[in-house]
Structure 1
Amino acid sequence: MAQDGKRGVTYQTVDAGYFEKRGLTRYAGVASLWALGVGAVISGHFSGWNFGFATGGWGGMLVAGMIIAVMYLGLTFSIAEMSAALPHTGAAYSFARTAMGPWGGFFTGLCENVEYVITPAVVVTFITGYVNAIFGFDPAYSPLVWVAFYVLFVALNVFGLELSFKVTMAFTLISLAVLVFFWISAVPHMDFSRWALNIAAGPDGAPVELPEGGGSYFPFGLSGVLATLPFAVWLFLAIEQLPLAAEESVDPARDMPKGIMLGIATLIVSAFMIVLLNPSVVGVGSFHLATSLEPLLDGFKAIYGDGGVVLLGVVALTGLIASFHTILYAQGRQIYSLSRAGYFPRGLSVTHASYRTPYVAMIVGSVVGLGVMLIIWFALGAETGGATIGSVLLNMAVSGAMFSYIAQAVSYILLRKNAAHIKRPFKSPLGVPGAVATIVIAVVTLFYQVQDPNFTKGVLWVLVWFAIATVYFAVYGRHKLVLSPEEEFALSGGRGEYKSL
């Protein structure tokens, strides 16, 4: 047992079998990492982003997307540098642990934990919206659809890393093919001025439809652009999960930066195309999409009619399924890393004896996510809960992500300043200014997110989450830490050699 009086934590000695029960398998190369990053985000190009039309109109959505793209460029370049230098499966937690000590690592990991437990819940609400629209299911039975998708895709993630990455690659490629097919289909059916610009601000400031279109690019002004930032986040949210695969990457120092950069480039192109084309399709429009749970399906139906709605709906589901599957992967690795080091209960990090996947972490994380959904569903009433649950959960996920981004950017700045000696196989071309831009944009996004009435419903749950976890760590967890690879590296001040399990 060793104590770190300065940090107020205690490390316990564990036997050799501890890490043997928590082993992972190396499999992923650049292509697999690219698919993991793009697949995690791609659902945001199928649903969720479109709610921003109600706060910013088409121009507000476009400019907000550009601002958020700058934030993610600063973030992804920063984490590309840190992930190559600190190739730990802990990702955000391990970066902050090295830069800011155990408490900094814990709170950063906790912010990311909120994001990765809640984001699959957001995605499965959109999946359910599509399923109900396709097959005409009664929304009152939505919880049954949630459970079915969780069970199926947790199982796919548990039964082998190779299977999980192959499923990710397949769904990511199919999702991108669906988007490209939609873009090609939409171009001949565009009427940008009539449909994309069919929103105006009413007397009370609420969006109203312009029957003939031709409205302003910015019907809600600059404040509308800024209010749209939280929704634009959905076009890129979760690309930062890639470093969680560091210990399952064949060569993380070489491949991780490449996977991250290729992923963000793919997403920027796709985000621009979907924001331009989806609302421009004749018969769709920004006003309708501002409240739609299935915007891509609406676009397909406007182009091809209702005759093939089942086929089109199933096709449009692929992007949501890709993200659901890949974020469940990230959820498992994120909980696993915090548990392996003792920040969370250690039993959560045990891996499957045959498949070497963190099945306990994935199952427990999924049960928590489902539990939050069901509590909100029944607390608000099935009818009201069904209408608002996606927005409440989205606010929870985005708030956790913003705090995590701020912490990671701060970690990057501190590591550049205080740990210049750490070997860096990749260096961010944006450097410290890129990290500063990430912090500024994330803070502004949080400021405008607080003004969303659904934010307060979600943030209460986040505060409860933080309170319970903080009490656990303060009273118990900080005295039960384990010298996992990232902890040893951090304690050495970055002067030790990283030891992979």
Structure 2
Amino acid sequence: MDPSGAMNYNQGDVTLSAPGLHQTKVYHIWAMGVGAVIAGDFFGWQSSLVGGFLGACISLGLVTVLYLLLSLCIAELASFKPDAGGPYTYVSALLGPNLGFLSGLCEALKVITVGGVGIYAIGSYMVQITDTDPSWQPLWWLAFVLFFTLVNVVGLKFSFHVELAITLISVTVLVVFYLGAIPKFNFDKWVLGNCDSDDLSGNSSACPQRWLYPNGLDGLSAGVSFALWFYLGIEEIPMVVGEGSDDSKKVVVGILSAMATLTVLSGCTLLFSCAIEPGAYAISTDNSPLLTGYRTIVNHGNWFEYFSWVIVVGFVASCMSFLLCAGRLLFAMSRDGLLPAPLSRLLPKADTPYIALITSSVLSYAITALLYCITGGDDQVGSALINMALFGALVSYFLQCASHIKLVMKYPNRTCYKSPFGIPGTVVCLFLCLLSYACIIKEGLKSLIFLYSLIGAILCVLLGMAYHFVKLNVQKRRVENYDSLN
């Protein structure tokens, strides 16, 4: 490590750097950040309405502050040391290699399982819009995983262009929905449940149930974990940049612009989805809220069928981003000798870590398929994957926040980008992480699938750490034997 805290990676006489150095533009980084998260505006968020519209707004406000502060921390850390390893690199440099490996392990658990969530969602969605048997889901997963892997392996620049195009389409799909919802907007009716005589016309069922704040604090706490899906993944942006001062400037602008975009999208999605037919209460239990929203604003059957296919693009954008980040994280950890060496091999000419990318895709598919078989193919597959992802994410967030505090204290004269909120902002972020985790555990303890998924996530982390310490012990013995011979 150099005096600034930056880490130099060498294996033998060969210096290995992150693939894709200087290939990124700010709009590519923006697209990766927005694309990784945008599926959260398509599905998942609606369960935050268990606390009513007001409860969902409060939950969204809390997680928006959490991710804004986290994004500023990450922007400073990425400016200090841009690298494909992302959180793993920062924590290793500032808190030591053991906590760095733990951070990398939890981050890998998160990106791989979120990739699995995307794969599962795509399969479920394709079954609905193609009217095929649910048993076809694993085949849909396989087809899309092969597509994502191929795009990511072909080359980083190609991945960026594909992700940019898909992200722009996804944002357009949401904006068209918002504009189409304006003429049908009726907050008083669809959220507050206030109907006039024309609405009722002798049919009491025509008036929707009032769904402003029905379950108090209990409903609010139950919705927090689902509100996280509006932003989960924004922190992956540093993994798509290379090393160098130019990239550190790009990643700061990319993170902050992506966060601003997602803040606007999340607010509009919540408002317009709830204030049109069928209303906030119905949307709270709808498995495809955006599709339902389009059904309301698009009356023509052919147009609705067209939009059904286009909506899949949002899931594709998020899933492809997470699998790319997972591959680059595995590459970075392998490059530093913490994971098997083959994971750091680069594809000639394309300069992509093809083995790491293939491995991340295989793991996402395998975990999803395993849970599908264990649960008999019911809807709990997505819940189990989400719980595992949130466990890994929040542990990683804690370590990143701690790294930021260490950075500010150890290098007061650093010249990189500085978070305007400093240590106080990071402390607030840590508190919100703890609050979110408490809400997740409170609700999760009511479900066996949560307990099983939490145990599974903990076992994955424990096995990973055992591998790490065993490998360190073996390396130490080799060094001791070498020294004794000389």
Report the equivalent of 2:24.
Answer: 28
Deviation at 1:211, TM superposition (A): 6.4
Cα deviation code 1:250-301 (max 9, x no counterpart): 812221111111010000000000000112222x323332233321111101
Say if 1:403 and 1:53 are closer, same or farther in 2 by CA, change over 3 A.
same
Q: Contact (CA 8 Å) 2:34, 2:167: kept in 1 or not?
A: yes
Q: Contact (CA 8 Å) 1:392, 1:458: kept in 2 or not?
A: yes
Aligned length: 456
Of the three residues 394, 401, 404, the one matched with 1:409 is 401
Mapping of residues 1-80 of structure 1, within 5 Å? 14-17=11-14, 19=16, 23-54=19-50, 56-80=51-75
Deviation at 1:210, TM superposition (A): 8.6
Q: Note if 1:224 corresponds to 2:219.
A: yes
Q: Contact (CA 8 Å) 1:25, 1:161: kept in 2 or not?
A: no
Q: After TM superposition, what 4+ stretches of structure 1 lie above 6 angstroms from structure 2?
A: none
Residue aligned with 2:241, SS: helix
Say if 1:166 and 1:111 are closer, same or farther in 2 by CA, change over 3 A.
same
Say if 1:478 and 1:156 are closer, same or farther in 2 by CA, change over 3 A.
farther
Report the equivalent of 1:89.
Answer: 84
- CA distance in 1 between counterparts of 2:295 and 2:120 reads 21
Of the structure 1 ranges 75-84 and 240-249, higher mean CA displacement relative to structure 2 is found in 240-249
Say if 1:210 and 1:418 are closer, same or farther in 2 by CA, change over 3 A.
farther
Residue aligned with 1:228, SS: helix
Of the structure 1 ranges 125-134 and 230-239, higher mean CA displacement relative to structure 2 is found in 125-134
Q: Contact (CA 8 Å) 1:135, 1:310: kept in 2 or not?
A: no
Q: Contact (CA 8 Å) 2:82, 2:243: kept in 1 or not?
A: no
- CA distance in 1 between counterparts of 2:183 and 2:9 reads 65
Say if 1:348 and 1:407 are closer, same or farther in 2 by CA, change over 3 A.
same
- CA distance in 2 between counterparts of 1:355 and 1:42 reads 28
Report the equivalent of 1:204.
Answer: none
Q: Note if 1:130 corresponds to 2:122.
A: no
Q: Note if 1:266 corresponds to 2:266.
A: no
Say if 1:250 and 1:325 are closer, same or farther in 2 by CA, change over 3 A.
farther
Cα deviation code 1:368-387 (max 9, x no counterpart): 111111111111112x3xx1
Q: Note if 1:437 corresponds to 2:428.
A: yes
Report the equivalent of 1:497.
Answer: none
- CA distance in 1 between counterparts of 2:147 and 2:295 reads 28
Q: Which amino acid aligns with 1:156?
A: V
Residue aligned with 1:353, SS: coil
Report the equivalent of 2:168.
Answer: 173
- CA distance in 2 between counterparts of 1:389 and 1:134 reads 20
Say if 1:12 and 1:146 are closer, same or farther in 2 by CA, change over 3 A.
closer
Q: Contact (CA 8 Å) 2:20, 2:157: kept in 1 or not?
A: no
Of the three residues 143, 146, 155, the one matched with 2:150 is 155
Gaps of at least 5 residues in structure 1 are: 1-10, 200-208, 482-501
Report the equivalent of 1:190.
Answer: 185
Q: Note if 1:448 corresponds to 2:439.
A: yes
Q: Note if 1:333 corresponds to 2:328.
A: yes
Deviation at 1:48, TM superposition (A): 1.0
Report the equivalent of 2:311.
Answer: 316
Q: Contact (CA 8 Å) 2:95, 2:403: kept in 1 or not?
A: yes
Deviation at 1:248, TM superposition (A): 6.6
Q: Note if 1:428 corresponds to 2:405.
A: no
- CA distance in 1 between counterparts of 2:325 and 2:193 reads 39
Deviation at 1:41, TM superposition (A): 0.6
Query: How large is the Cα RMSD of the aligned pairs?
Result: 2.4
Q: Contact (CA 8 Å) 1:28, 1:250: kept in 2 or not?
A: no
Say if 1:289 and 1:259 are closer, same or farther in 2 by CA, change over 3 A.
same
Q: Which amino acid aligns with 1:446?
A: Y
Report the equivalent of 2:411.
Answer: 419
Q: Which amino acid aligns with 1:375?
A: L
Q: Contact (CA 8 Å) 2:211, 2:280: kept in 1 or not?
A: no
Say if 1:100 and 1:210 are closer, same or farther in 2 by CA, change over 3 A.
farther
- CA distance in 2 between counterparts of 1:433 and 1:300 reads 43
Deviation at 1:19, TM superposition (A): 2.8
Q: Note if 1:114 corresponds to 2:121.
A: no
Deviation at 1:120, TM superposition (A): 1.1
- CA distance in 2 between counterparts of 1:43 and 1:352 reads 30
Of the three residues 276, 281, 285, the one matched with 1:287 is 281
- CA distance in 2 between counterparts of 1:248 and 1:301 reads 46
Q: Contact (CA 8 Å) 2:82, 2:244: kept in 1 or not?
A: no
- CA distance in 2 between counterparts of 1:244 and 1:13 reads 19
Say if 1:196 and 1:357 are closer, same or farther in 2 by CA, change over 3 A.
farther
Q: Which amino acid aligns with 2:290?
A: L
Residue aligned with 1:293, SS: coil
Q: Which amino acid aligns with 1:160?
A: G
Gaps of at least 5 residues in structure 2 are: 1-7, 195-203, 477-486
Q: Contact (CA 8 Å) 1:25, 1:356: kept in 2 or not?
A: no
Cα deviation code 1:347-387 (max 9, x no counterpart): 112111121111111111111111111111111112x3xx1
Say if 1:197 and 1:121 are closer, same or farther in 2 by CA, change over 3 A.
farther
Of the structure 1 ranges 69-78 and 350-359, higher mean CA displacement relative to structure 2 is found in 350-359
- CA distance in 1 between counterparts of 2:475 and 2:154 reads 30
- CA distance in 2 between counterparts of 1:72 and 1:303 reads 31
Say if 1:195 and 1:438 are closer, same or farther in 2 by CA, change over 3 A.
same
